[in-house]
Chains A and B, each alone.
Chain A
Amino acid sequence: MSAVPATQAPAPKPKSYLENGHTVASWLLTGDHKRIAILYLISVSIFFLVGGIAAGMIRTELLLPKGVFLENDSYNKVFTLHGIVMIFFFLIPAIPAVLGNFLIPLMVGARDLAFPRLNLLSWYVYMAAGTLGVIVILLGGVDTGWTFYTPYSSLYSNSQVGLTIAAAFLAGFSSIFTGINFIATIHKMRAPGLTWFRLPLFVWAHYATSVIIILGTPVIAITLLLVGVERVFRIGIFSPELGGDPILFQHLFWFYSHPAVYIMILPAMGVISELISAFSRRPVFGYHFVAFSSLAIAGLGFLVWGHHMFVSGQSMYQGVVFSLISFLVAVPSAIKVFNWTATIYKGTVKLDTPMIYALGFIGLFLIGGLTGLYLSSMATDIHLHDTYFVVAHFHYVMVGGTIMGYLGGIHFWWPKMFGRMYPDNWGKLSAVIVFIGFNLTFMPQFVVGYLGMPRRYHYYYLQPEFQPYHIMSTLGSSVLGVGYFMPVLYLLWSLKYGKKVGDNPWGASGLEWETSSPPPTTNFLEMPIVTKEVYTYDAEKAEEEFEHRQELIEEVTG
């Protein structure tokens, strides 16, 4: 942004974080959480593209029953690449490291996160991990699947398992650093008057996410390290040939990797709470329940990992317990969905782009969540295990949930980040295309999975009747690709040509909208003092509070 003409604004706008230094070093050595969020935004977008290309290759290959252009071996590498890149380098960091990084200090009224240098280090560690990932691709890739199951990964695979493990290990630490930062910031840096129950649900969701990150991620780090040790030194830890225990690997792996699903979905749920409230003009229904349901999901999420192992040799009685606790996760998830719909009910709904994404999230997450119950029930899981039904289920949650939430959030806070608005019609169009493309891609996979198509197979010529479903799915993925690519174009366009909008174009209530857009480096020019409850969209009440603002300020500071 160039200088604002004096006639337009009575007081000159404070220098925004984007204008505070234009050199490369001022970005690469910044401690500013907003700039680090932008660095993350660029990086995760690149990895999303890489993972997306791999997804396109998978879908193309499955067009014909005998495959199109990939050998068995390269197909294994492509789906492994897709899984690892999407999970470790896109889904896990996407919302926390981009939106969370940018917004949490603004939402709690702080000048920055508690540990800015740790935050920057987190990005560098992430980039180091990403670089290792790229090296792995250049050296020929890895073929274990993102799950690294032993003994294949530790003894037999001839691909780049070691480097991939190092990359995942580093990526894990980058999210641990983010988690530590969020926890310290949310606990200790809230503005005066900002009590726990005045925090936006976005912050609650990130708090729950951070707890999962610091409890779960170290376990996967050490587990992968042990796989590496077994691979290099041939000592038996996870491989039965050497006296180790492969089930132990699966326990340790899923102890993290199931909660990791909640690392991906909880922040998206936080985004959706903000969007639903802002575009229905109502406070979130049952705020406390939604807040605590995030913590409940985080807690219960650690007790359900065994439902990935119903058919891999764990005790049946253990399976029963894991199955029951898995059902329980549906309760807090349902609380959220019901409360969002109750928020919309009788609200003044405005269907702007972010709201369309949010509504899409609710629909897709609903399907994703409910099909999860088929898989957590042992009897049905035996039929559905390792089929495309599973693939469709977790894509509904992770893509339909997390990416819808991420894109909705990006569209909602884009004017906050850059002070400019994208063309809303294009936004709406992209949201609808994504929704249609997504369902077209993954709905047929439920059916073909139920009919018996196993996941990770690169051909199905013995069952050519599966082909129509695969054609639909591939067609849908092309539509989905278009839907994902459109925002890239018009958002980049808007950086230069988008309409300049005021500080709060949506009329949203959060603290982050009370500073200028884009915010100055220190976020707030003076310490914000919070005198109102969260999501105050009630016009009468808001006015009343405004009148008594001074008294309340004195009361809080007094």
Chain B
Amino acid sequence: MAAIAAEQAHSHDHHGPLHHQFEDLDQQNEAYLVGMWAFLVQEVMFFGALFLTYTLMRWQYPMDWYFAHNELDWKLAGFNTFNLLLSSFFAAMGVRSAQLKDRKGVLLWLGGVLLCCLVFLGIKYVEYALKWEHHLVPGPSFFYQGEANPGVAQMFFGLYFAMTGLHGIHVAVGLIVFGILWLMWYFRKTIVTEDYMPTEMCGLYWHFVDLVWIFLYPLFYLIPHP
């Protein structure tokens, strides 16, 4: 990226967070927002295909789906849901502090987000490890002795790992993104301190990740008897 930096050097000298292709910060921020929302639309469609697959399969095998879901721990995941909601609140407060240029507030709230991220991934690890021990990970080692049809149970766990795994990857990306954001605030990089938009965009991303889980939790862990 050296060349870009060199090209933009002149504008950085004078305008801080403003990139050379924009006229002013307002234009830049609006473009960022449009870009971010376009990205989130793309994400909705990305997860959307999985939700469609889930819907079809659950509609086709309602009983097996119910029996297979009993293997999941709704309490651990429920705690994680609460944890993730809390992190969204922290993220929103972090954005507010960024708008007020309150650096300490930002560091505090974003630190909270990071902590929640780690807790979420930790619990997810415990859940996955338990599934591994119980041979519920699809593949050659899959072994299920329950009331559901084993093939369908494997399908259920396949989708479970695909969907929560993809969500988990998004959480891990969030951890990296918020980690970098936190460091940038800590080292007083003007790109974040002079312009709240990068923080806002990370917040938007995080709320999206949170929202996906809000759907995933009841779909996998809270299936009623059909």
Contact = CB atoms under 8 A, between A and B. Distances in A.
A229 interface: yes
Interface in B44-88: 45-50, 52-53, 56-57, 60-61
A237 B58 CA distance: 12
Contact of B139 (A118, A120, A189, A234): A234
Interface string A244-261: 110010001001000000
A116 B155 contact: no
A30 B4 contact: yes
B20 interface: yes
Secondary structure at the A interface, as helix, strand, loop or mixed, is helix
A218 B45 contact: yes
Contacts of A179: 38, 42
B138 interface: yes
A13 interface: no
Interface stretch (A21-29, A332-340, A420-428, A529-537): A21-29
A367 B30 CA distance: 43
B151 interface: yes
B138 A235 contact: yes
A252 B54 CA distance: 13
A29 B41 contact: no
Contacts, number: 146
B34 A183 contact: yes
Contacts of B1: 29, 31, 117
A110 B21 CA distance: 7
Interface stretch (A94-102, A219-227, A291-299, A505-513): A219-227
A32 B151 contact: no
A61 to B, nearest CB: 36
A180 B201 CA distance: 15
Contacts of A222: 46-47, 49-50
A243 B3 contact: no
Given A31-B4, A189-B31, A183 B154 contact: no
Interface residues of A, number: 58
Contacts of B60: 245
B146 interface: no
Nearest to A105: B21
B71 to A, nearest CB: 15
Contacts of A244: 57, 155
From B19, B21, B139, name the one whose CB has the most chain A CB atoms within 10 angstroms: B21
Contacts of B139: 232-234
A381 interface: no
A507 to B, nearest CB: 29
A252 B3 contact: no
- The number of chain B residues touching the other chain, given as a range, is 35 or more
B49 A219 contact: yes
Contacts of A230: 158
B159 interface: yes
A237 B154 CA distance: 10
B190 interface: no
Interface in B1-35: 1-4, 7-8, 19-23, 27, 30-32, 34-35
A74 to B, nearest CB: 32
B3 A21 contact: yes
A499 interface: no
Contacts of A225: 162
B197 to A, nearest CB: 13
Contacts of A115: 35
B31 A242 contact: no
Contacts of A60: none
A299 to B, nearest CB: 15
A117 to B, nearest CB: 6
Contact of A236 (B32, B50, B155): B155
Given A214-B45, A219-B45, A233-B138, A183 B20 contact: no
Interface of B: 1-4, 7-8, 19-23, 27, 30-32, 34-35, 38-39, 41-43, 45-50, 52-53, 56-57, 60-61, 138-139, 149, 151-152, 154-155, 157-159, 162
Given A184-B34, A218-B43, A226-B53, 12 more contacts: A112-B20, A114-B32, A176-B42, A184-B32, A215-B42, A218-B48, A226-B49, A226-B162, A235-B155, A235-B157, A237-B158, A248-B52
